[in-house]
Amino acid sequence: MKSMLAISMCAAAFLVSGCEEKSPPNPVTNAANKAGAATANAWAAAKDKAAATAQASLDSAKKMMDDLSAKAAAVPATAKPTVDSAVATAKDKIAAAEKSLSDLKNATSDTWSKISDECSKAVAAATDAVKAAMDKLPK
Protein backbone atom coordinates (compact mmCIF):
# COMPACT_ATOMS: atom_id res chain seq x y z
CA MET A 1 0.00 0.00 0.00
CA LYS A 2 2.82 2.37 0.83
CA SER A 3 4.45 1.64 -2.51
CA MET A 4 1.18 2.34 -4.30
CA LEU A 5 0.88 5.66 -2.49
CA ALA A 6 4.49 6.53 -3.36
CA ILE A 7 3.95 5.73 -7.02
CA SER A 8 0.79 7.87 -7.08
CA MET A 9 2.62 10.76 -5.46
CA CYS A 10 5.47 10.53 -7.99
CA ALA A 11 3.04 10.46 -10.90
CA ALA A 12 1.21 13.50 -9.54
CA ALA A 13 4.50 15.33 -9.08
CA PHE A 14 5.48 14.66 -12.70
CA LEU A 15 2.11 15.82 -13.97
CA VAL A 16 2.23 19.05 -12.00
CA SER A 17 5.81 19.80 -12.99
CA GLY A 18 4.90 19.34 -16.68
CA CYS A 19 2.36 22.14 -16.55
CA GLU A 20 3.83 25.51 -17.29
CA GLU A 21 2.37 28.82 -16.49
CA LYS A 22 1.81 30.93 -19.59
CA SER A 23 2.69 34.56 -19.17
CA PRO A 24 0.44 37.22 -20.66
CA PRO A 25 1.57 38.75 -23.95
CA ASN A 26 4.23 41.39 -23.52
CA PRO A 27 3.05 44.66 -25.09
CA VAL A 28 6.64 45.86 -25.62
CA THR A 29 7.57 42.69 -27.49
CA ASN A 30 4.39 42.88 -29.56
CA ALA A 31 5.11 46.52 -30.44
CA ALA A 32 8.70 45.69 -31.34
CA ASN A 33 7.57 42.83 -33.57
CA LYS A 34 5.07 45.08 -35.33
CA ALA A 35 7.69 47.83 -35.76
CA GLY A 36 10.15 45.31 -37.17
CA ALA A 37 7.58 44.08 -39.68
CA ALA A 38 6.73 47.66 -40.69
CA THR A 39 10.42 48.45 -41.16
CA ALA A 40 10.89 45.34 -43.30
CA ASN A 41 7.92 46.32 -45.45
CA ALA A 42 9.14 49.92 -45.76
CA TRP A 43 12.65 49.05 -46.97
CA ALA A 44 11.28 46.44 -49.37
CA ALA A 45 8.85 48.99 -50.83
CA ALA A 46 11.61 51.60 -51.14
CA LYS A 47 13.92 49.07 -52.81
CA ASP A 48 11.18 48.00 -55.22
CA LYS A 49 10.43 51.63 -56.11
CA ALA A 50 14.12 52.37 -56.71
CA ALA A 51 14.44 49.25 -58.87
CA ALA A 52 11.36 50.18 -60.91
CA THR A 53 12.68 53.71 -61.48
CA ALA A 54 16.09 52.40 -62.51
CA GLN A 55 14.48 49.81 -64.79
CA ALA A 56 12.42 52.47 -66.57
CA SER A 57 15.50 54.66 -67.10
CA LEU A 58 17.55 51.70 -68.29
CA ASP A 59 14.80 50.66 -70.71
CA SER A 60 14.86 54.18 -72.15
CA ALA A 61 18.66 54.02 -72.55
CA LYS A 62 18.36 50.62 -74.26
CA LYS A 63 15.82 52.02 -76.73
CA MET A 64 18.19 54.88 -77.51
CA MET A 65 20.95 52.27 -77.88
CA ASP A 66 18.87 50.35 -80.43
CA ASP A 67 18.37 53.55 -82.42
CA LEU A 68 22.07 54.34 -82.13
CA SER A 69 23.09 50.87 -83.34
CA ALA A 70 20.85 51.20 -86.39
CA LYS A 71 22.29 54.60 -87.25
CA ALA A 72 25.87 53.48 -86.53
CA ALA A 73 25.55 50.73 -89.12
CA ALA A 74 25.10 53.35 -91.84
CA VAL A 75 28.01 55.58 -90.81
CA PRO A 76 30.61 56.36 -93.51
CA ALA A 77 33.92 54.53 -93.18
CA THR A 78 35.77 57.69 -92.17
CA ALA A 79 33.64 58.11 -89.04
CA LYS A 80 33.22 54.41 -88.29
CA PRO A 81 36.14 53.94 -85.80
CA THR A 82 35.03 56.89 -83.67
CA VAL A 83 31.39 55.88 -83.69
CA ASP A 84 32.14 52.19 -83.11
CA SER A 85 34.29 53.07 -80.11
CA ALA A 86 31.52 55.23 -78.63
CA VAL A 87 28.93 52.51 -79.29
CA ALA A 88 31.14 49.91 -77.58
CA THR A 89 31.54 52.18 -74.56
CA ALA A 90 27.77 52.72 -74.39
CA LYS A 91 27.15 48.96 -74.59
CA ASP A 92 29.60 48.37 -71.75
CA LYS A 93 27.90 51.03 -69.63
CA ILE A 94 24.49 49.48 -70.30
CA ALA A 95 25.80 46.05 -69.30
CA ALA A 96 27.20 47.53 -66.08
CA ALA A 97 23.87 49.22 -65.36
CA GLU A 98 22.02 45.93 -65.94
CA LYS A 99 24.31 44.17 -63.47
CA SER A 100 23.86 46.95 -60.95
CA LEU A 101 20.08 46.75 -61.34
CA SER A 102 20.21 43.00 -60.80
CA ASP A 103 22.27 43.58 -57.65
CA LEU A 104 19.68 46.09 -56.45
CA LYS A 105 16.81 43.68 -57.01
CA ASN A 106 18.66 41.06 -54.93
CA ALA A 107 19.87 43.46 -52.23
CA THR A 108 19.19 42.93 -48.55
CA SER A 109 17.89 45.46 -46.07
CA ASP A 110 21.38 46.44 -44.95
CA THR A 111 22.85 46.87 -48.46
CA TRP A 112 20.04 48.12 -50.70
CA SER A 113 20.52 51.84 -50.04
CA LYS A 114 24.18 51.85 -51.10
CA ILE A 115 23.46 49.61 -54.08
CA SER A 116 20.54 51.85 -55.06
CA ASP A 117 22.86 54.85 -55.22
CA GLU A 118 25.37 52.87 -57.28
CA CYS A 119 22.61 51.68 -59.60
CA SER A 120 21.34 55.21 -60.16
CA LYS A 121 24.85 56.32 -61.07
CA ALA A 122 25.35 53.33 -63.40
CA VAL A 123 22.08 53.98 -65.22
CA ALA A 124 22.91 57.68 -65.56
CA ALA A 125 26.37 56.78 -66.91
CA ALA A 126 24.79 54.41 -69.45
CA THR A 127 22.34 57.08 -70.59
CA ASP A 128 25.13 59.65 -70.86
CA ALA A 129 27.30 57.21 -72.83
CA VAL A 130 24.51 56.54 -75.32
CA LYS A 131 23.91 60.28 -75.74
CA ALA A 132 27.66 60.87 -76.20
CA ALA A 133 27.76 58.14 -78.84
CA MET A 134 24.78 59.74 -80.60
CA ASP A 135 26.72 63.00 -80.67
CA LYS A 136 29.55 61.19 -82.51
CA LEU A 137 27.25 60.34 -85.41
CA PRO A 138 27.91 62.50 -88.48
CA LYS A 139 25.31 65.16 -89.03
Asked, for residue 80, whether it belongs to a domain, the answer is yes
User: Amino acid identity of 19?
Assistant: C
* Nearest Cα residue to 135 out of 54, 55, 64: 64
Asked, for residue 15, whether it belongs to a domain, the answer is no
What's the pLDDT score for residue 26?
A: 61
Asked, for residue 56, whether it belongs to a domain, the answer is yes
User: Amino acid identity of 135?
Assistant: D
Asked, for residue 87, whether it belongs to a domain, the answer is yes
Q: How far apart are CA 7 and CA 13, in angstroms?
A: 10
**Overall domain count for the chain:** 1
What's the pLDDT score for residue 5?
A: 45
Asked, for residue 25, whether it belongs to a domain, the answer is no
> Residue 130 is part of which domain span?
50-139
Asked, for residue 103, whether it belongs to a domain, the answer is yes
- 22-78 pLDDT, tens digit each: 656 665 555 555 555 656 678 788 889 999 999 999 999 999 999 999 999 999 999
Asked, for residue 18, whether it belongs to a domain, the answer is no
Angle between helix 112-136 and 27-72 (nearest 10): 10
Q: pTM of this prediction?
A: 0.71
More confident residue, 128 or 14: 128
Asked, for residue 13, whether it belongs to a domain, the answer is no
- 76-129 pLDDT, tens digit each: 999 999 999 999 999 999 999 999 999 999 999 899 899 999 999 999 999 999
* Nearest Cα residue to 134 out of 73, 71, 80, 79: 71
